[in-house]
Structure 1
Amino acid sequence: MAPPVSSVYDLAYRGKTEAVKILINENPKLKTDTDAMEMTPLILAASGGRDKVVNLLLNQGANVNAQTNDGHSALQYAASKNWKTICAALLEQNADINIADKRGSTPLHRSATKGNLAIVKLLLEYGKQLKIDQRDAYGNSALHLACEEDRQEEAKLLVSNGASIELTNNDRKTPLDLCNVVFARQLKELHDKTLPV
């Protein structure tokens, strides 16, 4: 017997692939339905790190760019939680790489501030449309946040891929203003090396 329809969100989050598949086969609308917070089964599966459910939902045509009441998306959750295979699957299905929540935070912001180096690298690999200097509601770029959280590898990677060290946030601070003096000097040197001759 199939589980109750109301549990599709819980089942997606817990990674119950077969149960989710049964429910969607019985009621295809469930793949895009939302709960009270505008969470979709795909967003919940991505947040929970449930690769198989994510792939099932993507193959069934779930909306890859659906957002919650706060503007959170499957890609943003996966980037924040360091789920690389899920991020890759979402990007392969044309997830908006620059999708932002109500605070302007993008997947790159989330992965840089959390120190998720593999995700930062992945987003840069899909970088044709990536807005590396996109700012959040506070004027911070991903580089600002990486510097503020002392995520040195992420900051170096961003700078070597063209992130601006001169962009100012709403407090008129550059990324270099947010890191220690020694690391600020290293980033400046790295930046200068990457400038075209």
Structure 2
Amino acid sequence: MDLYQKNKNPTDYSAGGRDGHGKATTCPDDRLDSGLDSLKDDELSSLTSETEGLRISCREEPGDGLGEPWQLQRTEDGDTLLHLAIIQEEKEYAFQMINLSRHSAFLNIQNYERQTPLHLAVITEQPEVAECLLKAGCDPQLVDDHGETALHIACKRGSLRCFSVLTQGSPHMLPSILLRANYRGHNCLHLTCIHGYLSLCESLVKLGADINAQEQCSGRSPLHLAVDLQNPQLVRLLISLGANVNSLTYSGHSPFHLTYGRHDTGIREQLYGLTDRSLRELPESESEDSDEDPGSEDEMYDDIMLVGQQ
């Protein structure tokens, strides 16, 4: 029986990150059903009875913590009872299950969207649960089906409390997490820039994030992203933190190049004096560089054979 209902939002918020009122948008494809109202009476009763019996049914003999009946149960979406307790914000039951788990393997179980309990704790804004999971030994490096760790999600959502718990709770793993890009090619710093969270951007840089890291799609640095999104405060912050104004995308464009045709002249003025002279003018297109006759392209391919005919 399906013990919960999911509320999916297929909207893609990958670019821009803010609505018309300047409010940050939410993460794409996150399951945000965390209210008890979404459960039918019989489903809620079933979840309650399962969790209330945890302490009674738990075996006393030592084991790996993966053989208890309540730990083996899964919904049709691959969720454990711990996933469900977190989704429904039943913190007391979640803490009880975490404390009863003698092996971190149970805490790292991923559902069919590859979400761990830690992912769900961040999505549902429960930093206390996230902290408890980290102390119990869960792995913060695991990624969901978007290639994102729990920290990626906290950065996209601008969740200051979860961000603080995740960065302080596993300092030895933090460098590798900060380097990791999701399946869109964005690391945590890129995500905070895209969504315009200035304080998180500054915190990430101070924690060791590479301020000049290139996102994997087109090679834009955080400064490129800030210019692209026409965010003068973010541009100013990144420059003050040491961003390289002469960094180039894969196509050879500097941050200043991205100011052409944009409405914010303040950003253009900020970058003009700092940018190398050679990187102020837009690179010429291939067509402008070429001296070939318009018909030369046809001449290049005049020896193509089609079905045996020239």
Write the letter of the residue equivalent to 1:34: Q
**TM-score, length-scaled by structure 1:** 0.85
C-alpha distance in 1, partners of 2:83/2:159? 19
C-alpha distance in 2, partners of 1:190/1:48? 42
Deviations 1:24-61 (A, max 9, x none): 33444321111112211111212332111111111111
Within 5 A, what are the aligned runs for 1:1-197?
Answer: 1-3=49-51, 5=73, 6-27=80-101, 28=103, 29-92=105-168, 93-94=170-171, 95=174, 96-127=177-208, 130-137=209-216, 138-179=218-259, 180=262, 181-189=265-273
For the Cα contact (< 8 Å) 1:113–1:145, is it kept in 2? Answer: yes
Structure 2 unmatched runs, 5+: 1-48, 52-69, 74-79, 277-310
Write the letter of the residue equivalent to 1:37: E
Q: Please state how far the C-alpha of 1:118 moved relative to its aligned partner.
A: 1.6
Other-structure match for 2:293: none
For the Cα contact (< 8 Å) 1:112–1:151, is it kept in 2? Answer: no
Write the letter of the residue equivalent to 1:186: Q
C-alpha distance in 2, partners of 1:149/1:13? 33
Q: Please state how far the C-alpha of 1:191 moved relative to its aligned partner.
A: 7.5
- CA spacing shift, 1:146–1:48, aligned 2, 3 Å: farther
Deviations 1:137-187 (A, max 9, x none): 221111111211122212211111111222222343222222344312213
C-alpha distance in 2, partners of 1:191/1:125? 24
- CA spacing shift, 1:14–1:50, aligned 2, 3 Å: farther
Q: SS of the counterpart of 1:111?
A: helix
- The structure whose residues are more often helix, as a share, is 1
Structure label with greater radius of gyration: 2
- Matched pairs, number: 190
C-alpha distance in 1, partners of 2:89/2:178? 24
**TM-score, length-scaled by structure 2:** 0.56
RMSD: 2.2
C-alpha distance in 2, partners of 1:50/1:191? 44
- CA spacing shift, 1:190–1:19, aligned 2, 3 Å: farther
